[in-house]
Structure 1
Amino acid sequence: MIRGGGPRLPLPLVSLLLAATLASCAQEGDFGRPAKSSWNGLIETTGSLAAAERGLMVSASPLTDDEEVLRDRAWRFLMPAQGRAAFEDALANLTRVRALPTAWRPDDVAAYHDALLDQGFRSPVSRYRRLSEDATADGRLIPPFAALAARVFEADAMRLRALPLARSLNEDDLREAAMRVAENRCLVAWVRLEAGLRVTRYRYALEHFLVEMPGREAVPAEQALAFLEGRRRLLDPLLPPEAAERCGLAEPEAVAPAPRVVVKD
């Protein structure tokens, strides 16, 4: 985990802010991005305060335009794909902004599958179609996110190169710059981790659908999943493999790629 120095906030203050935040869930805007509102602003502030209390890297520097958009685009991957109760959505959002440690949320591989079956539906075709749509939507969002992350990392490199040349910077300025670079990298590491977990959850759902309600609709669902798996690999070159572990995120065990469960004749 990346540690930062600086003053520690009183734990009662953090607890009070967390209790206020848990009263509701965040508002979602267009295209799955967090809506611009005073409520979401409060959540972001609470996340920074609580993260500082836990010793994580937190920067108070203003975000660049690319950094702002990067955080908006990360929203899709850091929030649950399946339907959740309002309280669980609030907890997931608090985790997204680091008001709670990421370890609170267990990796329930079956949750996506179970949620699709719990929802009312007339035909199994709709369940396969929903799986295909979710996997395809995730896959389409990865290339622009990867390109944006690369731009942010280029700007971070420029920021770091400028540090030795700026004589007016003090120790706090240097610390803020280092923390922002750490924040950006850990955000991308988190998205990469969650994108991989999405693939695992979707494949679990597809494998179980084939046993529970086999049908020809499994073929396009398999194709959509293969599309997502291919696009997810675009995130691999951005950071070293151990980035998630360095950021304090749960690192999944390395496993061999799962075989395709549907083969079209």
Structure 2
Amino acid sequence: MPDTIRQIRPFVSAVLLTLLGAALGACSGGDFGRTRESMRSDDMHRWLGAEVTASVGLRPSQFQLTDEERQLRDLAYPLIEPPLSRPAWKSVFGDYKALPSPWRQKVVFDRTMYGRTLIDEPHRSHSSRYAQLIEDVRNDTTRFEPFFASAIRVIDLDKKRNASMARVSALSPKEREDAVERMQENSLIIQWVQQCLEQRVSSYRWALERLVIQAPDGMAADADRLIGELAAQTANPPVQAQPPYGRAVISKG
């Protein structure tokens, strides 16, 4: 019997190590919706500029991002990514993907998507659905001020950049092009966020209306108040990116 036990122990240890390795591997994607570390980099959101300029027939700048421009893109992504767009299991694995600009012809905004996802996802009660809606609206409200504070700084610096070009000695055509393209990038990213905020308000209202008729609850008043606050902020942003590009955004629902 002791010999048998000694033979079994290495096998059991190997199995346990294999299971532990698999568990750790599953966690490598990040937890609590965070992006896996291997996906992180200082310029992980640089693609926003390339995507938004390409979608309107412009070229992205080849200049390196400044600290302010990098922060603008980092703060923009959470407001661009649609709420509830990632299933819970994907959030656990830190799913991260590039998103199409709203100027892409194939992009269709469905204001019902958020509400249908919220209602269809398993919840312990309708109260938890209201709580999720309230949390999402609050998150957007919290992100609003930091993003637009960053946008104000970037636009102010772009104005100085534009004024300085006339005084730069021996400015090459390529340098001028890259400077202009970077200013266009920054402006378009801000407009992208503005459009997404308008869409989010529309989606939240649709979701709340459906929750109210399916499961009336006192929490609806809190949700309605918060959506109203976000709508007021969105309708009066502290900065307007110029020049505005046509809002050829298809909507349904």
What is the TM-score when the length of structure 2 is the normalising length?
0.73
Does the C-alpha gap of structure 1 residues 50 and 194 become closer, same or farther in structure 2, counting only changes over 3 Å? Answer: closer
Closer, same or farther: CA 187–53 of 1 in aligned 2, 3 Å: closer
Residue in 2 aligned with 1:210? Answer: 212
Work out whether residues 48 and 189 of structure 2, in 8 Å CA contact, stay in contact via their aligned partners in 1. no
Q: Residues 186-197 of structure 1 correspond to what in structure 2 (within 5 A)? A: 186-197=188-199
CA distance in 2, matches of 1:166, 1:157: 15
Q: TM-score, normalised by structure 1?
A: 0.70
Aligned to 1:110: 112
Cα deviation digits, residues 197-251 of structure 1 (max 9, x gap): 00000000001111111111111111221221122234264236x7141xx6528
In structure 2, runs of 5+ residues without a counterpart are 1-28
Whose relative contact order is higher, 1 or 2, with alpha carbons under 8 Å and at least 6 apart?
2
Q: Which residue of 1 aligns with 2:140?
A: 138
Equivalent position amino acid for 1:95 in 2? P
Structure 1 stretches lacking a partner, 5+ long: 1-26, 253-265
Question: What is the correspondence of 1:244-259 to structure 2 with a 5 Å cutoff?
Answer: 244-245=245-246, 250=249
Q: Deviations over 1:120-173 (max 9, x none)?
A: 111100001111110111011111111110100010011011101011211011
Q: Tell me the number of residue pairs that the alignment of Structure 1 and Structure 2 aligns.
A: 219
Q: Identity rate of aligned residues, in percent?
A: 25
Q: 2:240 aligns with which of 238, 245, 257?
A: 238
Deviates more, 1:59-68 or 1:45-54: 45-54
Q: Which amino acid aligns with 1:139?
A: T
SS in 2 for 1:107: strand
**Code of the aligned partner of 2:143:** L
CA RMSD of aligned residues (A): 3.6
1:147 equivalent to 2:146? Answer: no
Q: Distance in 2 between matches of 1:187 and 1:114?
A: 28
**Structure 1 counterpart of 2:180, which letter?**
A
C-alpha separation between the residues in 2 aligned to 1:228 and 1:106? 23
- Report what 1:93 is aligned to: 98
| Offset, 1:37 | 3.2
Answer yes or no: is the 8 Å Cα contact 2:115–2:207 preserved in 1.
Answer: yes
Q: Match of 1:156?
A: 158
